[in-house]
Amino acid sequence: MAPKIQPRVPRGMRDILPQKMLLRQYVIGLVEKTFQRFGFEPLQTPVLELRETLMGKYGADAEKLIYDAQHREGKEELSLRYDLTVPLTRVVAMYPDLPKPFKRYQIAPVWRAERPQKGRYREFYQCDADIVGSKSMLADAEIVTMIYTLLAQLGFRSFTTKINNRKILTGIGQYAGLPPAELGGLYRSLDKLDKIGADGVRAEMTQNQIPAEAIERIMKLIAVPTDALGELRELLGEFPVAREGLDELEQLATFLSDANIPRTNFQFDVAMVRGLAYYTGPIYETVVTEPRIGSLTGGGRYDDLVGLFANQSIPTTGTSFGIERIIDVMDELAMYPASIGKTVTQVLVTIFQRELAGVSIQIANRLRAAGINAELSFETENLGKQLKYAAAKSIPFAVIIGPDENSARQVTLRDLTSGEQTRIDQAELAKALAAKLPSEPPDSI
């Protein structure tokens, strides 16, 4: 016999066992339903992309994390996709006849060779919804509205979508009088405001040898309270880019107010920065404030990304839901409805003895035909063992058909939770059981 190998999965990747999958499917199902409710259409793309498709889009740091996926004899240089956004822009460039605005969603795994941590994996699902072909702030407002709707639907209460604009960040660079090479560092420091405070940002900028005068100007800027777009305009108004960004955010604010998004659930914040290089306009990031867990969504407008594949630029905006993190938070806070069971099986049909197997088979099949998830036991002797199996799997009901029941054309229906048993006519079983099972939740948002 060949020597045994350690059963294990690659670093940062994991198996998701059935009980966890049921919870994931609940979350993903709700996400998908919400996407569709807003008129987004499903899209699938290959997990592998040509390497050249991915390179040059995310910035040098991010690209180090891209997995290559070369076949030994392959002629094409292939990589595992890093996100779902760049594949989308590739699709848009390849199929120029898609009616615009093109609204698509995609829920699929992506790969990043990061150092794993809790809630942070090398293979994880992203849920993206994007609107291609509209430069209207209505499109951005719809994205933010959908973020609100979805998170509220999942049961989140205390969350805030932070909104900023790349154009404002560009304006800040000009306002500080920094050369372009310094800007990356400045933005990164700015982004940490929440975490390290104003003094921390100052210290970090000092350490990065940003001129004292520039630091003082930045400090004045981050002293502006969130949502105070007017005050920002006073400081940044002389820079046309910043003015454009502020105009956009003001329009966005109007539309969000028209959509009745609660004022506590979004916030304009100049200190919010998104890492990816391709954003050009409004950017969003949603943080859950209770508990403090980091960001659950991230996205923004990237008007020039499609232009890297086609001759024309196509304005695009969208967001990504960090489904793994959302699931982690929901696990931690036990945010799932009680109706989600630990198994798909609704009833175990036991076999009392070998001679009665045929009856049990037929009853199981009749239950299935009636839309009930019925499992047939494969044990024909020990009823105790069969019930033990049902209990171990948290199957809520068991059907027992012994000689007594069968001669009366009945069954015993046992509720494994309460231990109650009732005798039911075989012809009535499906109906009686269906009445005891939890009904599907209403399909409304």
Binding site for RNA (CB under 7 A): 6, 8, 10-12, 59, 61-62, 83, 112, 114-122, 124, 126, 188, 191-192, 195, 274-276, 294-298, 320, 322, 324-325, 352, 383-385, 387-388, 390-392, 400-405, 412, 414, 416-417, 419, 421
Is the CB of 52 or the CB of 194 nearer to RNA?
A: 194
Do 219 and 210 contact (CB within 8 A), yes or no? no
Nearest to 25 by CA among 127, 167, 142: 127
Report in angstroms how near the CB of residue 411 gets to RNA at its nearest. 8
**Cβ atoms within 10 Å of 311's Cβ, excluding its own:** 7
Report in angstroms how near the CB of residue 121 gets to RNA at its nearest. 5
Maximum alpha-carbon separation in the chain: 94
Report in angstroms how near the CB of residue 115 gets to RNA at its nearest. 4
Report in angstroms how near the CB of residue 95 gets to RNA at its nearest. 25
Is the CB of 78 or the CB of 399 nearer to RNA?
A: 399
Is the CB of 59 or the CB of 96 nearer to RNA?
A: 59
The secondary structure of residue 245, as a DSSP letter, is H
Cα separation, 169 vs 244, in Å, equals: 11
Is the CB of 53 or the CB of 286 nearer to RNA?
A: 286
Is the CB of 14 or the CB of 431 nearer to RNA?
A: 14
Distances (CA, A) of 379 to 233, 351, 384, 397: 75, 7, 10, 17
Burial (CB count <10 Å: 0-12, 13-18, 19+), residue 389: middle
Is the CB of 145 or the CB of 410 nearer to RNA?
A: 410
Report in angstroms how near the CB of residue 254 gets to RNA at its nearest. 27
Cα separation, 142 vs 320, in Å, equals: 14
In 133-193, the DSSP E strands lie at 159-165
Nearest to 248 by CA among 135, 161, 131: 135
Report in angstroms how near the CB of residue 442 gets to RNA at its nearest. 29
Report in angstroms how near the CB of residue 341 gets to RNA at its nearest. 13
Is the CB of 117 or the CB of 444 nearer to RNA?
A: 117
In 254-331, the DSSP E strands lie at 266-268, 282-288, 295-301, 316-321
Report in angstroms how near the CB of residue 231 gets to RNA at its nearest. 26
Do 428 and 17 contact (CB within 8 A), yes or no? no
* Bridge-based pairing state of the strands 421-425 and 410-415: antiparallel
Nearest to 111 by CA among 46, 25, 167: 46
Cα separation, 445 vs 434, in Å, equals: 25
Burial (CB count <10 Å: 0-12, 13-18, 19+), residue 219: middle
Is the CB of 134 or the CB of 286 nearer to RNA?
A: 286
